């Protein structure tokens, strides 16, 4: 059997700072810095704020993508870290985002793709 | 226990048309039409071509996102369909992309988030 082509980490972050989850500029800065700390190469990003609340953000990286969707009313954020190759440090990205969002509790699933 | 906040479908599409997997314009048209058929509301999109081959694309939708990463050299595409609420028709999106990429084989995982 061939090695998987990509790794995918799915994070459920609970008990986050609700104001941060509704601040697209802060979320963008947090995700971009997390990607840098994971040694990712940023290609582009898009962040969108929903009415009445919530933000969706995707950072396209040379290794694939990091995405966040937030539910400020639940103090919850879903984060996906998807990468081909073995260079992206998923744990470093997770830890930076977890600390930045001040999450009380994080569930992590590690899947392979391809 | 509260209902999950979001649904996430992870697709592994094998045996795809390799030329299509390396054509960002065609992939973009395919994903946008798939989202429309799934009753999604398109917010914005970003598609990026890698050297020597492969495309990453993300469509941000009001319901969350649809992402694709392709490996033309393996005839493989990974697709993620992530949505809050219950209105997005994941199966319609999956079927449209599967047909469009002419995939021989599709593995599908359905996860809940939040």
In Å, what is the CA distance from B81 to each residue of A25, A81, B56, B59?
25, 14, 14, 10
Instruction: Using an 8 Å CB-CB cutoff, list chain B residues near A6.
Output: 69, 78
Give how far A64 is from chain B: nearest CA, Å.
7
- Over residues B39-96, the pLDDT tens digits come to 999 999 999 998 888 999 999 999 999 999 999 999 999 999 999 988 999 999 999 9
Kindly list the domain boundaries of chain B, sorted by start residue: 6-113
Looking at 3.90.10.10, 3.60.90.10, 2.30.30.110, 3.30.2130.10, the CATH number of the domain B6-113 comes to 3.60.90.10
What residue has token string 């609700």?
A18
pTM value is 0.95
Whether B64 is a known active-site residue: answer yes
User: Which H helix or E strand runs over B78?
Assistant: strand B76-84
- Name which of B42, B44, B55, B60 to mutate to probe chain A: the one with the most chain A Cβ atoms within 10 A of its Cβ: B60
Tokens of A58: 């995707």
User: Is A12 close to B113, i.e. CB distance below 8 A?
Assistant: yes
Per-residue pLDDT of chain A (114 residues), as tens digits, is 578 999 999 999 999 999 999 999 999 999 999 999 999 999 999 999 988 889 999 999 999 999 999 999 999 999 999 999 889 999 999 999 999 999 999 999 999 999
**CA separation for the pair B47, B56 (Å, rounded):** 6
Can you name the CATH fold of A11-113?
3.60.90
**CA separation for the pair B76, B62 (Å, rounded):** 27
- Residue B1 pLDDT > 60, yes or no? no
Torsion angle (degrees, nearest 10) of CA B64, B68, B69, B74: 150
Of A63, A62, A59, A50, residue with least CA distance to A79: A59
Instruction: Using an 8 Å CB-CB cutoff, list chain B residues near A67.
Output: 58, 65, 67, 82
**Other CB atoms within 10 Å distance of the CB of residue B60:** 23
Whether B14 is a known active-site residue: answer no
Whether B51 is a known active-site residue: answer no
What ipTM did this prediction achieve? 0.94
């Amino acid at each position: 059997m061939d090695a998987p082509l990509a790794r995918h980490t799915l994070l459920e972050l609970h008990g986050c700072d609700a104001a941060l989850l509704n601040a697209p500029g802060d979320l963008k800065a947090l995700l971009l810095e997390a990607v840098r700390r994971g040694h990712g190469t940023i290609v582009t990003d898009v962040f969108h704020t929903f009415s009445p609340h919530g933000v969706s953000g995707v950072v396209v990286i040379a290794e694939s993508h990091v995405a966040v969707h937030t539910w400020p009313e639940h103090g919850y954020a879903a984060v996906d870290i998807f990468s081909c190759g073995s260079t992206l440090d998923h744990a470093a990205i997770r830890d930076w985002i977890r600390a930045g969002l001040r999450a009380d509790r994080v569930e992590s699933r590690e899947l392979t793709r391809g």
